[in-house]
Amino acid sequence: MPDEALEDTAAAVVNYNDSGMSLLEMSHRSQPIVDLMEETTGLVRHLLAVPDNYQIIWLQGGASTQFSMIPMNLLSENEIADYTDTGSWAAKAIKEAQAYGSVHVSCSTKSSIYNHINKDLQQSSKAIYLHITSNNTIYGTQWKTFPDTLNPEGYLVVDMSSDILSRPLDFNSIGLIYAGAQKNMGPAGVTMVIIRDDILGKLDRHIPTMLDYRTHIDKGSAFNTPPVSAIFVVNRTLRWLNDLGGVQVIEKKNMTKADKLYAEIERNLLFKSPISEEDQSPMNVPFVFAENGDEKEFLDFCAERGLLTLKGHRSVGGFRASIYNAMPEAGVDALIAAMQEYESQRS
Ligand code: PMP
């Protein structure tokens, strides 16, 4: 997370805006917090150029709750939704949706351990929506451009948990996007959902009040107690991004970081990327030993240089550098230097 956001949070936890109260003690109905929520939503609308016919809400339960909430609100039992199986999170979304309607899997790269995205989709012409995971956090693949829906009336539902606010977004075919905050937006504890007005209210199924998007839209994300402290950190992260120049600027910075790291993985004789080049994610960069190597030894070598949490996800092994928005270029440079030092020691 950006240092500025952490410093502001530390100060606010002790004394919120000179109120003599801690951020952690503030009521969500108090004016400063009402203002905070409004500013935070406004920053998202500004940074992503969210059109007026989309609502932005803040929920709890993580992106994982959205795997159920989406079909519960948007898909009736006798309707079809297309889903793309591009990673473990996508597969979890598929599993949950199956309880609410007919789920048609348009592509799957599971048999090749999700090392690329199959963009040749088999869509059903009647699908209400097409679900994609824009960035596959564990495997390090990203949809560089979003696919079109085959059904002209259909819309995209996009899990952007691990690349939200990393690049500009075209809302043209988007019905709903969702993202847990804990990568590019702030800490865990709050999930953002952006929904086009017209897609709601079309089903006659009973939806529990807390799981109905309309509840949270109607009450400005304060139907019940929102996670105020997490939203504060999101606010300061968004302010940081805005001051930096917004998503166009961060996209360039992200590409600079990713390009140099992928170039080093390509050049370094010890490592290789398991991911097909055209789908490589600028957010999560997995790499493995080109031949045999001692993973623990390299992780220890990195840790000695202050480079932590580089272990790949347990389902794929190897290494993964998550270089989200707030990771400075110097962090990537330090990893590249460590990879080069390790290589020279081994040859
Ligand atoms: N989708 C994606 C793409 C993710 O990366 C994650 C979490 N890493 C999730 C969904 C699940 O998010 P949460 O833990 O907030 O439920």
Burial of residue 306 (CB within 10 Å: 0-12, 13-18, 19+) is exposed
Closest CA to 225 of 29, 65, 31, 38: 29
- Interval between CA 309 and ligand 1 midpoint (Å): 17
pLDDT band at 156 (very low <50, low <70, confident <90, very high): very high
Q: Which residue has the tokens 């390009």?
A: 259
CA distance 105 to 88: 14
CA atoms within 13 A on the CB side of 254: 26
| Percent over 70 (pLDDT), the chain | 100
Please, which residues bridge with residue 81 across strands? 103
CA 68 vs CA 63, 106, 123, 212: distances in Å = 10, 19, 21, 11
Per the CB < 8 A criterion, the answer to whether 271 and 39 are in contact is no
CA distance 31 to 46: 22
Which is catalytic among the residues 159, 163, 212, 279? 159
pLDDT of residue 347: 77
Which is catalytic among the residues 8, 143, 183, 279? 183
Pocket of ligand 1 (CB under 6 A): 62-64, 89, 133, 137, 159, 161-162, 180
Counting from 1 in the atom list of ligand 1, the atom nearest the Cα of 65 is: 16
CA 43 vs CA 172, 197, 200: distances in Å = 20, 19, 24
CA distance 61 to 90: 17
Per the CB < 8 A criterion, the answer to whether 129 and 115 are in contact is no
Decide if pLDDT at 93 tops 90: yes
- Interval between CA 136 and ligand 1 midpoint (Å): 9
Q: In the numeric block, which tokens belong to residue 259?
A: 């390009």
- Interval between CA 62 and ligand 1 midpoint (Å): 7
pLDDT band at 237 (very low <50, low <70, confident <90, very high): very high
Catalytic residue list contains 89: yes
Q: Closest residue (by CA) to atom 15 of ligand 1?
A: 62
Catalytic residue list contains 159: yes
Decide if pLDDT at 300 tops 90: yes
CA 143 vs CA 147, 280, 282, 316: distances in Å = 8, 9, 11, 20
Q: Closest residue (by CA) to atom 8 of ligand 1?
A: 137
How confident is the model over 160-216, as pLDDT tens digits? Answer: 999 999 999 999 999 999 999 999 999 999 999 999 999 999 999 999 999 999 999
Decide if pLDDT at 301 tops 90: yes
How confident is the model over 263-274, as pLDDT tens digits? Answer: 999 999 999 999
Catalytic residue list contains 183: yes
Task: Say how far residue 207 (Cα) sits from the centre of its chain.
Answer: 26
- Interval between CA 161 and ligand 1 midpoint (Å): 6
Which is catalytic among the residues 8, 85, 89, 240? 89
pLDDT of residue 163: 98
pLDDT of residue 314: 86
